Amino acid sequence: MVKQAKMSEEQQCQDGYTYRIRRMEPHDIHAVMMLDRLVFSDPWPESAYTQEIYFNPLACYFVLEFTQAMPHRRWPWKPRNNTLIGFAGMRIEQTRGHISTLAIHQDWRGMGFGELLLITALQQTMAMKASAVMLEVRPTNTPARNLYAKYRFIPIGRHTRYYQDGEDALLLEVPHLDADYAQQLAEYRQLVEKRIQERLSTQDPLSS
């Protein structure tokens, strides 16, 4: 039985915004793939999600969704449905965690959601007793590299021509997942949740 890290409580903000992070379910795969295609030039095939969710007991995937009416002009036809705006995944490989994916819809970037999903994946990695965690990132991906640097990822290598367009991948790692790191994750989580609440409260969703 895989131990479950804390996920976000449903967060109720002013003006009816409510969001939560929960485990990705098979019925989410379609929406996740749509977002994956919007965000990445080399999105995963459905089989990759199916493999991870159905057949890999050492993998955990998360989605971030709004759970109430979203008065956003990009989704006026779906006012009452849940709206998935981000996802993240991790798996354990031997004793090391691997953050396998992370994405936020472009309309909702810069508010703390990417950080909150990364914290969730890192806390899950620690709950599953990994001693270290790694990931791949494009050298040109400044937002992601800054985010990972904030969480003490350091460069440990490079995969040549890793991505389909020929760009290399940098390998980043947090070499020691210890009590101090867990404490930092918990503190950052509180700060990020507060920041998101504040930003959602002041955001005019119809102006973006």
Ligand X SMILES: CC(C)(COP(=O)(O)OP(=O)(O)OC[C@H]1O[C@@H](n2cnc3c(N)ncnc32)[C@H](O)[C@@H]1OP(=O)(O)O)[C@@H](O)C(=O)NCCC(=O)NCCS
Identify the three-state secondary structure at position 79: coil
- 10 Å CB burial of residue 32 (0-12, 13-18, 19+) is buried
Which CB, 129 or 159, lies closer to ligand X?
A: 159
Which CB, 127 or 147, lies closer to ligand X?
A: 147
18 binds ligand X (CB under 6 A): no
**Residue 186 CA: distances (Å) to CA of 18, 90, 116, 175:** 21, 18, 11, 19
β-strand pairing of 59-66 with 132-137: unpaired
Which CB, 6 or 109, lies closer to ligand X?
A: 109
Q: Which of 109, 127, 152, 197 binds ligand X (CB under 6 A)?
A: 109
Which CB, 1 or 190, lies closer to ligand X?
A: 190
Q: Which of 49, 62, 113, 151 binds ligand X (CB under 6 A)?
A: 113
Give me the residues paired with residue 19 across strands: 11, 66
Task: Return the residue nearest ligand X (CB atom).
Answer: 114
134 binds ligand X (CB under 6 A): no
Which CB, 76 or 157, lies closer to ligand X?
A: 157
Binding window for ligand X (CB under 6 A); candidates: 12-20, 69-77, 100-108, 119-127 = 100-108
Min dist CB 114 to ligand X, Å, is 2
Which CB, 16 or 143, lies closer to ligand X?
A: 143
Q: Which of 31, 112, 177, 200 binds ligand X (CB under 6 A)?
A: 112
- Write 126-130 long-range contacts (CB < 8 A, 24+): 126/5, 126/97, 126/177, 126/181, 126/182, 126/185, 127/3, 127/4, 127/5, 128/2, 128/3, 128/58, 128/60, 128/92, 128/97, 130/92, 130/95, 130/96, 130/97, 130/177
Q: Which of 33, 147, 171, 182 binds ligand X (CB under 6 A)?
A: 147
Here the tokens at position 188 are: 């950052």
Phi, psi of 154 (to 5 degrees): -125, 150
Interface residues with ligand X (CB under 6 A)?
A: 39, 102-104, 109-115, 137, 141-144, 146-147, 150
